[in-house]
Structure 1
Amino acid sequence: MSYFNENHYERRRGLLFFVAMMLISAVVGGLIALNGAKALGLLGPAQVPPGESRTTPEINIPPSGNTAGKTAVVTIAEQVGPAVVGISNLDVYSDFFQGEQEVEKSTGSGVIFDSAGYIVTNNHVVAGASKLIVSLADGRQVPGQMVGTDPRTDLAVIKINAGDLTVARFGNSDDLRVGDVAVAIGNPGGTEFARSVTQGIISGLNRLLITEEGLQFKLIQTDAAINPGNSGGALVDVKGRVIGINSIKIAREGFEGMGFAIPSNNVQQIVADLVKYKKVIRPALGVWMIRDVDKELADYNDLGVDYGVLIDPQPSGPAAKAGMKRYDIVIEIAGKKVTNRFDLQNEIFSKKVGDTVPVVVVRDSKKVSLSVKLGELEQ
């Protein structure tokens, strides 16, 4: 029987017709999906004229299943990634035989938060730099200038003179919930691994960090991988909004996935001061906080109160001028109960330099009311 007999030809023609219809349907469907994706903004930000800066848009992706989650992370990487930069901290020195030399001391990440070229990063990334080089997503490398630093929170602001920048959109870190999706973007191994993306969740909120000065700050905990080079990079929510600046990687034996970020609400307050004043202006009570008072300490020393903060006034400071004495226990500031050092710091930092606040202390088991005019915390 011939391969081209009539019956076989008719069956083959029917098959070809069916395949052709399937191909046409696929092409038409693809065009419709492409137009729909463009309309929804899933293919990246709209093109802007050269030299103009743009702010990353808020991403709207249905939170359903793994497919949507992957799409969200891809979109976040495409739209927020260009707002994350690499920062090289260089030490410049002169060599008798070779002249001026540059040695890279450290690398880190930063986030562009203003179209004027302002970048927020970690203080330890830029500390002691003789020269800063900022690597942009489009391959440009431009010098950075120091604007201001805040060692207490490990934040700093630098500035570059460049156009056509992508500016990150910041979200409200107070709205975060444990279990929310979190995406970390940064340079975990320097510029070689620029804008690496890791996905995780918000593992915890209000994690306390106690600095060497005794100050306490609340951090966001995430299991999104954060390495030393991620310092200064962005922690982003599912809508592409920066909710934190990656800051601390804690590695303990037996514990993995413990990354920390400074909440975006705190970051925005601090960078506003750094841009305006080159430093962070904080009010000060003018005391050294010896320790928190608990029931054991109170019972052993018959303090008369089992909460508050045991303090020592700084000489000629606001508290000393108001009559505060060593071993006074601060239990109330401006009508708010103070149970520990964080309460004390939080209440003072909520005020302004020059404000006069009522303070209640316990001295010799008796309450004493004082009025303190707040000074400025030394840098």
Structure 2
Amino acid sequence: MRTDYYTTAPAGGGPGRTGTPRYTVIPFEVPPPEEKKRRGSRKAPWIFAVFLVLIVALTGLTLALSWMLAQSGESGETTVESGGGNYTLIPIPTASDSAGTTDLERAPTGTGVTLTVAGLPDQVLTYQEIYDRNIAAIVSIRAYQTGGGATGTGVVMTADGYIITNYHVIQGSYQVEVVLLDDSVHQALLVGGDQTNDLAVLKIDAQDLTPAEFGDSDQLQVGDPALAIGNPLGEELRGTMTDGIISAISRDVNVDGNTMTLIQTTAALNSGNSGGALLNDRGQVVGITNMKMTSYSGSVEGLGFAIPTSTVKAIVDELIAYGHVRGYPTLGILGSTMDAQRAAANGLVEGVYVQSVTAGSDAEKQGMRSGDVITECNGQTVTSVDDINAIKEGFQAGDVLTFRVYRNGEYLDLEVRLMERYELDQ
């Protein structure tokens, strides 16, 4: 599976894939081969000295990058901890940074279709039975973007062509195709997508598809068998099944400033698995696979994650009904803590340092900009993104928050209206 920490590689490898990936992929680190010593070589001391210099430089760069990652966070969500420690959580395929706006033709909403979640059957199936029962419900997703593209996996929800996948698979795309088990290719329309929960619903013009049976993720227990079916590394290995166990439930993980409550599994996941199925031993889909944990200082194995069906049903039903998910107010700013040490070093004050402001947000319209330091929100002193989140929690989209901002040696007072996050996600 977003070699070493400094090397990024496109994931998924969709048709015409070029450009910079939206999510970096961090392959496993491979130790360099040992060099044979040359007896009596006069160059050895010089080579050793150069080697030491390189090691010191790389160590400094690693520490600097780690510090930068640890500082980032999104106001209106939660701080980005980059997984904390020496690891990071990454969505498992990528989309191009140059993709821009998601511009897919939309399918009708409000059709009354909902996701059915079945009870737990008594019969435990063999792995072969589980695979045979589900393989026709696993599809390939081809997402075409300006300057590149991405590939991922999807799960057939209904016989008439509703498909569930991850939002980050299709984000920034102007065209999406769904490839069925029989190799037929279908143009997909976007029913709706939600970046916060990383889910999207597509619709293709097809009949008599084989839908997956969705089970209740709330019935899962740690230690239960778990299987994943998807398309690791793209379509060449599509329909791959891996096995493991449920290693944790209700695991809170943080990616790009957004905390998600996910299922953790040891079933192997790789780029291209995003949007695929996590299954129980009854052959039911209990999660949509969406990310794995990787390390930039050592190997990490068996740490994959999936969105539980308890979340999937709530979000998918909302997307089919309205095309978006309501009730996620956001400020549209990316910020990080400006503590006393950082403030003194940069000639600033303590508070929340504004790293960027989302285009189209009310924060942008009211004049908030990168480089500002937020010192107060609604009259309360704030020193972290979490402080702003705690204040924001009691408000809804349309409500106005007041901010005191430090800029160029002066304090400014700004009033910013909270917006629905879907208004800024597109």
TM-score range, shorter chain: 0.5 to 0.7
1:345 to 1:241, Cα distance in 2 relative to 1, 3 A: farther
Distance 1:351 1:112, change over 3 A: farther
Q: How far apart in 2 are the matches of 1:111 and 1:152?
A: 19
1:203 partner SS: strand
Structure 2: which 5+ residue stretches go unaligned? 1-115, 343-351, 364-371, 403-415
Contact map agreement 1:109 1:233 (CA 8 A) in 2 = yes
Amino acid at match of 2:301: E
CA deviation digits over 1:96-137, x for unaligned, max 9? xxxxxxxx944321011233311111234334253514223x
Q: 2:121 aligns with which of 53, 60, 72?
A: 60
Change (3 A) 1:244 1:168: same
Query: Residue 134 of structure 2 aligns with which residue?
Result: 80
Go from structure 1 to structure 2 and tell me whether the alpha carbon gap of 1:287 and 1:250 turns closer, same or farther (over 3 Å shift).
closer
CA 91–207 in structure 1, closer or farther in 2 if over 3 Å, else same: closer
Secondary structure class of the residue paired with 2:268 = coil
> Contact (CA 8 Å) 1:283, 1:351: kept in 2 or not?
no
Q: How does 1:213-292 map to 2 (within 5 A)?
A: 214-252=257-295, 253-284=298-329, 286=331, 288=333, 290=335
- Cα distance in 1 for partners of 2:205, 2:189 equals 12
Cα separation, 1, equivalents of 2:386 and 2:288: 21
Three-state SS of the structure 1 residue aligned to 2:263 is: strand
The amino acid of 2:294's aligned partner reads A
Identity %: 37
Match of 1:173 in 2: 217
C-alpha distance in structure 2 between counterparts of 1:164 and 1:329, whole Å: 58
CA contact (8 A) 2:225 2:280 kept: yes
Q: Which residue of 1 aligns with 2:75?
A: none
Whole-Å separation in 2 of the counterparts to 1:375 and 1:79: 43
Instruction: Report the AA paired with residue 206 of structure 1.
Output: D
Q: Which residue of 2 aligns with 1:195?
A: 239
Alpha-carbon separation, structure 2, partners of 1:87 and 1:288: 31
Tell me if the contact between 1:59 and 1:238 (Cα under 8 Å) persists in the aligned partners. Answer: no
Cα offset, 1:273, TM superposition:
3.3
**1:142 to 1:373, Cα distance in 2 relative to 1, 3 A:** same
Find the partner of 1:160 among 193, 198, 204. Answer: 204
1:206 corresponds to which residue? 252
Q: Of 128, 142, 147, which residue of structure 1 is paired with 2:185?
A: 142
Count of residues in correspondence between the two structures:
294
Are 1:111 and 2:172 counterparts? no
Deviation sequence 1:199-236 (CA, Å, 0-9, x none): 111223223334xxx23223322110111121110111
Mapped to 1, the partners of 2:377 and 2:216 lie a distance apart of 31
Q: 1:15-34 CA distances to partner (integer Å, 9 max, x unpaired)?
A: xxxxxxxxxxxxxxxxxxxx
**2:377 and 2:145 mapped to 1: Cα distance?**
48
Q: Is the 8 A contact 1:207 1:220 kept in 2?
A: no
Query: In 2, are the aligned partners of 1:144 and 1:158 still within 8 Å (CA)?
Result: no
Aligned CA RMSD, in angstroms, stands at: 5.1
Change (3 A) 1:118 1:345: farther
Shift of 1:292: 7.1
| TM-score, structure 2 normalization | 0.51
Following TM superposition, by how much is the alpha carbon of 1:146 offset from its aligned partner in structure 2, in angstroms?
2.9
Q: 1:328 to 1:244 in 2, by over 3 A?
A: same
Q: Distance in 2 between matches of 1:243 and 1:72?
A: 17
Pair 1:124–1:331, CA change in 2 (3 A): closer
> In 2, Cα distance between the equivalents of 1:174 and 1:124?
25
Larger RCO: Structure 1 or Structure 2 (Cα < 8 Å, ≥ 6 residues apart)?
2
Partner of 1:41: none
- Classify the secondary structure of the residue corresponding to 1:221: strand
Partner AA of 2:234 in structure 1 = G
Q: Normalising by the residue count of structure 1, what TM-score does the alignment of the two structures yield?
A: 0.56
Partner Cα separation in structure 2 for residue 90 and residue 311 of structure 1: 32
The Cα of 1:283 is off from its aligned counterpart by 3.2
* Aligned partner of residue 77 in structure 1, secondary structure: helix
Maintained 8 Å contact 1:135/1:191: no
Cα gap change, 1:255/1:165 in structure 2, threshold over 3 Å: closer, same or farther?
A: same
CA distance in 1, matches of 2:209, 2:320: 18
Q: Closer, same or farther in 2 for the Cα pair 1:176/1:288, shift >3 Å?
A: farther
